[in-house]
Amino acid sequence: MSDSNSSCMDGSYAEIVVVRHGETEWNADRRIQGHLDVELNEAGKQQAVLVADRLSKEPKISAVYSSDLKRALVTAETIAARCGGLERLARAWKSLALYVGLLSFLLVANQVITDPDLRERNLGDLQGLVFREAAKLSPKAHKAFLSHRTDQDIPGGGESLDQLFQRCTSSLQRIGKKHKGERVVVVSHGGVIRSLYQRACPNGKSGGKVLNTSVNIFHLSDEEWAIKSWGDVSHLHQTGYLKSGFGGDKTSG
């Protein structure tokens, strides 16, 4: 996806643009998703188009990474299609005009690199429940979810905050080491992004709510992490899609 213009730094760090996925129907219903594979709703698809258009006007990106869950992957594919130089490829294949649509679809799919370590936190028995009903329907899991212990896992195969932190920060570190001197996009989930914020600002206050398709820019240099921009949703201003979703805070899932 890159060309000689994709490098935007001096090579000592990677600039990683971390984007939360677009809204899903379960976000709108305040239903807990976790590892369940829920698709974007119409608002989420429009959010994905808006953030893709915004990123296409910024410095070139060299790669797009994503959680393998559909809500993140479709958001990432939308970004890749807008930012990945498909127009140049289509012109090169203009003699196969009847097949350009299929070709473009396959290229978009191949341009997004999926990583299960970028998935949302596994929330065990809470997954599929409406948040306001969770305490009644699964009290043990709900109590574990609200625990201040970071090593507390969730009944039903759910993860602790420590487990989530370890897998998603390790993933971003790997991406950063691979792409020094480049700008890349990572599409993930609210719980993951909050963990990444904690890694970059271990002694800081909470980053607050992570809105759907918010843009959060990290600079990674070896073991040093810094945040250049946080929670930017300027691409959603003047639309009806700014704060309609659920999650992205301590209820994220």
Distance between CA 83 and CA 142 in Å, rounded?
41
Q: What are phi and psi of 200, to 5 degrees?
A: -80, -30
Amino acid at 150: T
Map residue 232 onto helix, strand or coil: strand
- Catalytic (active site) residue 148: no
Which residue of the set 21, 179, 189, 235 is catalytic?
A: 21
Ligand-binding site membership of 27 (annotated): yes
CB 48 within 8 A of CB 79: yes
Q: Which residue has the tokens 């969730």?
A: 154
Residue 42 counted as an annotated binding residue: no
For residues 162 and 172, give the distance between their C-alpha atoms in angstroms, rounded to a whole number.
16
Spot the catalytic one: 120, 142, 159, 182. Answer: 120
Distance CA 31, CA 33 (A): 6
- The dihedral formed by the CA atoms of 200, 204, 209 and 211, expressed in degrees to the nearest 10: -30
- Residue 24, annotated ligand binder? yes
- Residue 23 labelled as part of a binding site: yes
Q: Is 88 annotated as a binding residue?
A: no
Cβ count near 178 (within 10 Å): 14
Q: Is 219 a catalytic residue?
A: no
* Residues forming the active site: 21, 120
Q: Which residues are annotated as a binding site?
A: 20-27, 71
Q: Which residues are annotated as a binding site for substrate?
A: 20-27, 71
